[in-house]
Amino acid sequence: MSIILKKKKGLLIPKPIPTNPSQVLGNLGLGSVIGILSKQESIMNDIIEEAIEGLITEKMLLISTRIIRSLEYFVSYKMIDGDKAIKSLFLKKKAWSSFVRIEHEEMRQTGAMPKEIVEFLEKKKCKKIKISREQLENYI
């Protein structure tokens, strides 16, 4: 691209050259548009993860989000029209004897599906524990 200068009253001013759409967009093609969409998706996932971390730290009164890695959890389910859906999530620190309950509605308020919250806990390598039927009846 060249710049054409003309002299106007002692000043050198570049002559305006009309641009075509390909110059404005440059190398933006379909790949770049897909890249932009995936970047927006990753930003949304980050926002949802921050909301999940906030919910867990608030409910369990944790000082730091790093403590999430040391949590234990189990999930209770309910049947809705023949489909299994998450009813509640029970979390505790290893040293604690009782669980903190997070209801389905509270999980939905973060903007994440309850299934995504369980996936988040798996991603953070939290330990999923198995409890007996009698223990489950005590918590529910």
Looking at residue 64, its pLDDT comes to 83
Name the band, by pLDDT with cuts 50, 70 and 90, for residue 122: very high
The predicted model scores a pTM of 0.66
Note down the domain range covering 63.
43-139
Q: Is residue 95 part of a domain?
A: yes
- The tens digit of pLDDT for each residue in 3-35 reads 665 555 555 566 666 666 555 555 555 555 556
Find the helix or strand (DSSP H, E) in which 25 lies: helix 21-25
Q: Is residue 16 part of a domain?
A: no
Looking at residue 27, its pLDDT comes to 55
> 3-class SS at 21?
helix
Q: Is residue 83 part of a domain?
A: yes
Q: Is residue 27 part of a domain?
A: no
Q: What is the DSSP letter of 98?
A: S
What is the chain's percent helix, strand, coil content, to nearest 5?
A: 45, 25, 30
Quote the number of domains for the chain: 1
Q: Give Cα 50 distance to the centre of its chain.
A: 6
Q: What is the DSSP letter of 70?
A: G
Q: Is residue 17 part of a domain?
A: no
End-to-end Cα, the chain, rounded Å: 72
Name the band, by pLDDT with cuts 50, 70 and 90, for residue 120: very high
Q: Is residue 10 part of a domain?
A: no
Angstrom distance (rounded) from CA 104 to CA 90: 11
Q: Is residue 8 part of a domain?
A: no
- The tens digit of pLDDT for each residue in 87-109 reads 999 998 888 888 899 998 988 88
Q: Is residue 2 part of a domain?
A: no
